[in-house]
Amino acid sequence: MLDFQQRVDTARILSWNRHGKGITFFLPGMFRLNGHHGQYPALSITGRSCELKCDHCAGKILESMPEATSSTALVDLCRKLADQGRQGVLISGGCQKDGTLPWPQFLKAIESVKAETNLFISVHSGLVDLETAKGLKEAGVDQALIDVVGNDRTFQSVYHVPFGVEKIFAAMEALSTVSLPMVPHIVCGLDHGRIKGEYQAVKMISRFSVAQVVIVSLMRISGTPMAGAGLPSAEQVADIIADARIHMPHATISLGCARQRGNTRMEELAIEAGVNRMALPSEEAVAFAQKYGLNVTYQPTCCSVPVSGTSTGWH
């Protein structure tokens, strides 16, 4: 069995051989970095409302998102953002008690946005059935972001749901069936900082032909039950990145924006493990990538969006 450094080295070689020796750094629309602002804002179709109140978020992330809680509001806001030159939007929101979002009442609005603007549209899908997945696809959604948890007890205790991860797998099957590109996200340390089910999540995802996988890690968000939780180590996160690469050499892998701020060790190990994309890089991470001789590009969007970045910065 390979040790940690051997797994990281194996993953990096696989990545470079398959995807080239480069990395794209991303600046999502809800963040500012070194005076620059992302061009891909996240919107909430439920406002600040979330019935699940998962332990790691408790609806706090919704508080920073512009609200678009009606079809009219969503279309109007997206028109405004398109007029401002934004490249796209992430449509998100809080979950209902069954893990779903109220997509049916917004499908016509999304269809109108796609017809009237050039915005690229990502959605935080939540748990979708086949009918909803088909509706999102037909409305013109470009990609669905979905959190994948690999442990039933973690899913039930953190997300406050009575069912197991088979519901997540079924949602992935629905998205796959209708050929709506999905971008699975794995939260390392979701169980109060403990690694429990992340490797199983990799295996679940590997059963589908996904083009992208995003690895993030638990954040201590003030006012949530996990505000004082332990955090996964940089090495643990890098090992999951390596495991994802080994299981899915064809997929591009991102270190996403939802992670411990200031952990440059995590960023550097992710680069060592051959990530193709990274959101919100530190100056140290950029320098580390350059030291490796990587071709560095920049893009002011979510890290799930197709790459069309430049080598001259966030512009």
**pLDDT (tens digit per residue) in 205-226:** 999 999 999 999 999 999 999 9
Q: Average of pLDDT values for 102-116?
A: 98
Q: Residue 2 pLDDT > 90, yes or no?
A: no
Integer angstrom CA distances of residue 202 from 9, 52, 262? 19, 24, 26
How does residue 277 score in pLDDT terms, banded at 50, 70 and 90? Answer: very high
What pLDDT, on a 0 to 100 scale, did the predictor assign at position 31?
A: 66
For residue 69, the one-letter residue type is: T
What pLDDT, on a 0 to 100 scale, did the predictor assign at position 38?
A: 74
What pLDDT, on a 0 to 100 scale, did the predictor assign at position 315?
A: 56
Q: Residue 314 pLDDT > 90, yes or no?
A: no
What pLDDT, on a 0 to 100 scale, did the predictor assign at position 33?
A: 67
88 bridge partner residues = 120
What pLDDT, on a 0 to 100 scale, did the predictor assign at position 28?
A: 86
What pLDDT, on a 0 to 100 scale, did the predictor assign at position 309?
A: 65
Share of the chain above pLDDT 70, in %: 96
Q: Average of pLDDT values for 158-174?
A: 98
33 Cβ partners below 8 Å, 6+ apart? Answer: 27, 280, 314
Residue predicted with more confidence, 244 or 31 = 244
Q: Residue 88 pLDDT > 60, yes or no?
A: yes
**pLDDT (tens digit per residue) in 7-54:** 999 999 999 999 999 999 999 876 666 767 778 999 999 999 999 999
Q: Residue 92 pLDDT > 90, yes or no?
A: yes
180 φψ region: left (φ > 0), alpha (ψ -120 to 50), beta (else): beta
If residue 32 lies in a helix (H) or strand (E), which one and from where to where? Answer: strand 32-33
CA 163, CA 13: separation in Å to the nearest integer?
Answer: 39
Q: In whole numbers, what is the pLDDT of the chain averaged over residues?
A: 95
What pLDDT, on a 0 to 100 scale, did the predictor assign at position 55?
A: 94
Sign (positive or negative) of CA dihedral 186, 188, 191, 195: positive
Q: Average of pLDDT values for 287-311?
A: 89
